[in-house]
Structure 1
């Protein structure tokens, strides 16, 4: 049984424009970073003790106001403090935003980690 050929974009017609598009997206990914609102309350490295004695350190994001709101828990292996940050040339993004082909321009807040929910949006 013959398997289907694997599509390799750099071997098909138009590979030059494909390469230019990927290079441009690597240098300037289609990602817009917006600063977190000033009224967002952030508590960093809050200690949460586990039953086995391990201490987890979490960042807690709260909206303005004191009304009760549901909790959104996000646990991922990419580092909770690895957020975009300001540089002289704009925002420094995680390398994954440059490597992964973004299907459309995206907008994230300055508190968003890679593959984590945006606490400002939620």
Structure 2
């Protein structure tokens, strides 16, 4: 099955493009701090208060195949000036399912993808994160 990408607007009024400033995985949850690409004083925190099932952070240059696939299917305007996405028919979730001998099949999982200006952060969770403008 083909992955399907959709723009995700978790809260109204977010800027279109961000950079990843930091990732934090602790007992307090998983947090992603983003800086606005046009005004680094404007920040957004993506907060998964409980644990997430998986995450990966990859320099965009190592995800060219994924970026090319998105470009071919949706066009450059779809992703070049937007940061927040959800992915259905996710290859990442499929890979997790294979690695866990099907554990992920018993849960409703969501693949969130943050296409930042410098990296791509993929998060697999069973719930929506909170978004906090700083």
Q: TM-score range by the shorter chain?
A: 0.3 to 0.5
- TM-score normalised according to structure 2 size: 0.31
More helix by share: 2
Larger radius of gyration: 1
Higher relative contact order (CA 8 A, sep 6+): 2
Higher strand share: 2
